[in-house]
Structure 1
Amino acid sequence: MDSENRLGVFLRARRELARPEEFGIPSGGQRRVAGLRREEVAMLAGMSADYYVRLEQGRDKHPSEQVVEALARVFALDEEGVAHLRELARPTARRKRAPRRPERVAPGLLRLLAAWPNTPALVLGRYMDVLVANPLATAVNSCSAQGVNMVRAIFLDPAARDCYRDWPTIAADTVASLRATAGTDLDDPRLTELVGELSLKSEEFRRLWARHDVRAKTAGVKEFRNPLVGDLALSYETFTVNGAPGQILIAYHAEPGSMAERALALLGMIVAGEISESASVAVDFEK
């Protein structure tokens, strides 16, 4: 990771993703670069080519708000992308890094998840580790088992490609979410280790990470292939956990009256039966 020129790396990545034809610029001929040329970005943003080159090269790291807005417009950044660009352009003092404490889930939140036997729910940490998941969440998606790192599982566990019906979208959203969680703190040792491992082992991860997409988990629909009840299309909602920076609670639900609702109810009964059977075995063993 280029920790000394994060703004320039971001701008270069977005420039290479821009499509010249969307700006009325012919994309064929003798173009030697992917996306827009530096001078084309400068022209579209209303600044000098020399100044834009200084931004990409890291010779100027703190552009004005007017420049940020112009670049955001050229690169068609969404609200989260613009916020990330502003953060990269903000002067920050280098601080001594405090040791990270192990992430823990509050007892009250643990009790809440346990009280939702019919709602798949889990808590993710700042590196997308599954800190806790109730039994139904694990039954819906094996990548949601407690102790699993979801980014690593999605890219390195072959079973993940079978679990998600639209694996490419899930993979792209996961990388963008990891960037959103990390923000500009890309020197975090655990993050560096995770990104380094995945960049070496997964070409797909390496390509997606290089895009510099930033997109936090909010809400949406995921489609799962479940070995017990078949396909499941479940909506999800995410909630930040107050008092635990970086942690998010994810809860899934099915559309009322849908096949997914019936399948989820059946899966819940299967899970409840397995838990009841395990409890009976434990009681018999104690006797």
Structure 2
Amino acid sequence: MAPINSGDNQPNQKIPRESIRKAVTSLLKWKKKQQQISDQKNPISGNIDNFIYLLLTLKKTPHKNFTTIPNKIPLPHSLHTSPESTPTCLIIDDRPKPNSQKLTFEFADKKIKSLGIPISKIIKFSKLKSDYRSFESKIELFNSFDVFLADRRVIGVLPEILGKVFYGKKKKNPVPVELRRDGDWKEEIEKGFCSSLLWLSKGSCSVVKVGRFGGMEVEEVVDNVVAAAGGVAEVVPKKWGGVKSFHLKFFDSLALPIYQKGVKDELKS
């Protein structure tokens, strides 16, 4: 899989790498101690959230137009082990299209196999609507795969179909990929696998996953934070001018500051 730029050379990067490294190192040390304590109390405990989150605080609440669809944030290091060892589900848009041929399961399956793309299961959008209506079926689907990718054209309606099981805690939101019949599916899916999602909330604070405890080195997480901060600043209203602060945290940890807009920056923006 081709590496993605870590973000170190981005002209708009404003967070010192050393500040990020210190925060990441502190969080990982804290998480290791917490896990040791948890293992002593309950050796078979599971469902622990081991992701590191980049917490974004905006100067102003974003307009509702910014909060309706997720923003794909490319990361240089995937949050998952590898595509080959990660159960992945691909949702395709098989709805009839007025000016193009409908995307069928047979076409998608043949293309996936011919390109050697490690997708565990392909689900048609029509089948998703008909076969996964019950809460139990959504839970089963949620637990069956670690990564969900979906045709960009259906991303906007998936929250209504998959509901709180997928979107309540934003743990397995499907990542949008461009699946044109004549497009480069391999590149799109590889990019999707190495991306995180930013859903701008209706308030001023939002989060995006940037790292994981266990399986990722400190410098890999730092690379991801550098890239994610620059990527987030590119898609939020007013870009860096709209960013008030960035923090890093685990779900159950304190938030460590890595960027705070200063008085001079406030006056410039």
TM-score strictly above 0.5: no
| Bigger relative contact order (CA 8 A; separation at least 6) | 2
Structure having the higher helix fraction is 1
Larger Rg: 1
Structure showing the higher strand proportion among its residues = 2
TM-score, scaled relative to structure 1: 0.26
